[in-house]
C-alpha cells in the first residue's frame, strides 16, 4: 500500500492497475506525530466496512509504503 500524506485529493483510496494487489491512499493529513497513520486507519475502516480496531499497520509506520492487515 502506498500512502500519499498531505494530498489535496484525499481522502481517497485508489486501486493501482499497474501493480498486483496494490492500493494508493491519498490523505489530507500530514505525516506529523502519527496523524497520517491515524487517518489511514480511519479511511480504510470506512472503505472496507470494519471497525478501526480491525485495521492494523503491520509494517511501515514511518514509511509511505505500508503493510496493513484488515480483520473481518
- pLDDT score at 44: 93
Q: Which residues contact 68 (CB under 8 A, 6 or more apart)?
A: 1, 40, 44, 55, 56, 57, 58
Domains in the chain: how many in total? 1
Question: CB of 65 within 8 A of CB of 40?
Answer: no
Question: What is the predicted pLDDT for the residue at 62?
Answer: 93
42: domain CATH number is 3.30.1200.10
C-alpha cell of residue 17: 492497475
Both ends of the chain: CA-CA distance in Å? 18
pLDDT of residue 19: 64
Give the structural domain span for 39.
Answer: 2-70
pLDDT in tens, 4-57: 999 988 788 887 766 677 888 999 999 999 999 999 999 999 999 999 999 999
Amino acid at each position: 500500500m502506498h500512502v500519499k500524506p498531505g494530498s489535496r485529493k484525499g481522502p481517497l483510496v485508489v486501486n493501482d492497475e499497474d501493480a498486483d494487489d496494490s492500493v494508493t491512499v491519498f490523505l489530507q493529513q500530514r505525516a506529523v506525530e502519527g496523524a497520517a497513520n491515524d487517518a489511514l486507519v480511519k479511511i480504510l475502516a470506512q472503505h472496507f466496512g470494519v471497525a478501526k480496531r480491525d485495521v492494523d499497520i503491520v509494517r511501515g509506520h514511518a514509511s509511505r509504503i505500508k503493510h496493513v492487515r484488515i480483520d473481518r
